[in-house]
Amino acid sequence: MTRISPPATWTAAIVLLLVILSSFPLACAQEAKAPTASVSFSLDFPQSIPDHYEISVASDGQASYDSTGKLTPDSEPGDPFHLEFTISPASTKRIFDLAARAKYFDGKIDSGKRNLASTGAKVLTYKDATRNSRAEYNYSPVPAVQEITAVFQNMSSTLEFGRRLDYYHHHQKLALEDELKRMEEMAKEKNLEEIQAVAPILQRIVDDKSVLNITRARAQRLLNRPQAGASW
């Protein structure tokens, strides 16, 4: 029997297909390992609550928060607090847009004025595949730095509310009313960011029938605000 060889064009096509298929897993692995950009903010302010905290936000929206200090002015020093959470796409974009407008914190961003009251030692850091910049400041005249500072400070306020609410729900439920009232007021004044990051503790308060109805209603109103629902 005579064996018929496939046309040369078929052979070339098969070889090309094998090359493409063999390189596909490598391309996927390289894409999965692509470095993620991040923006971090830290504040050290002795005698404040918290006296130290740091927030790091990745370009995919994954974030972490660490703080130390007392829960309240009257409490004993607490354990260090750590939280992994996800921020909204809108806030992620805003943070990285502000970092770009601030030239990724490359160079001096502090006003340099010595007669200004201290508002805490602040550090902004930007990292990606090609940049690694860090800037320290007390007060910055750069509008983008002022805005991103406010975003991170408001985010810390939200997460510290969540920390206290979780403690009060376990140990002092009657204190929840004043705490949630203050949280509502700050939310209305736009002094909180990413309320959805504390949605689980708000939901636990809503679901707990041993908590005062007025308190549960406050927690529900906060849950009903836009973007409530991420992980705590």
Ordered per-residue pLDDT tens for the chain, 232 residues: 555 455 555 555 454 445 454 555 544 444 455 558 999 999 999 888 899 999 999 999 999 999 987 777 676 776 789 999 999 999 999 999 999 999 999 989 999 888 888 889 999 999 999 999 999 999 999 999 999 999 999 999 999 999 999 999 999 999 999 999 999 999 999 999 999 999 999 999 999 999 999 999 999 999 998 764 444 4
Tell whether 128 is covered by a domain.
yes
pLDDT in tens, 125-153: 999 999 999 999 999 999 999 999 999 99
Could you give the number of structural domains in the chain?
Answer: 1
pLDDT at 117: 86
Tell whether 10 is covered by a domain.
no
Tell whether 158 is covered by a domain.
yes
Task: List CB contacts of 48: < 8 A, sequence separation 6 or more.
Answer: 69, 120
Closest listed residue to residue 163, CA positions, set 77, 74, 231, 67 = 67
Closest listed residue to residue 44, CA positions, set 125, 139, 138, 127 = 138
User: Which DSSP symbol is given to 209?
Assistant: T
pLDDT at 29: 46
- What is the C-alpha separation between 214 and 204, in angstroms, rounded? 15
pLDDT at 11: 54
- What is the C-alpha separation between 135 and 16, in angstroms, rounded? 50
Bridge partners, residue 82, by sequence: 66
pLDDT at 30: 46
pTM of the model: 0.81
Residue 208 · residue 166 · CB < 8 Å: no
pLDDT in tens, 17-26: 454 545 555 4
Tell whether 43 is covered by a domain.
yes
- What is the C-alpha separation between 157 and 160, in angstroms, rounded? 5
Tell whether 20 is covered by a domain.
no
pLDDT at 48: 86
Tell whether 126 is covered by a domain.
yes
pLDDT at 114: 82
Q: How many CB atoms lie within 10 A of CB 94?
A: 16
Tell whether 18 is covered by a domain.
no
Helix, strand or coil for residue 81? strand
Tell whether 230 is covered by a domain.
no
pLDDT at 173: 96
pLDDT at 7: 55
Give the residue numbers spanning the domain of 49: 38-223
User: Which DSSP symbol is given to 192?
Assistant: -
Strands 132-137 and 52-58: unpaired
- What is the C-alpha separation between 104 and 37, in angstroms, rounded? 11
Helix, strand or coil for residue 122? strand
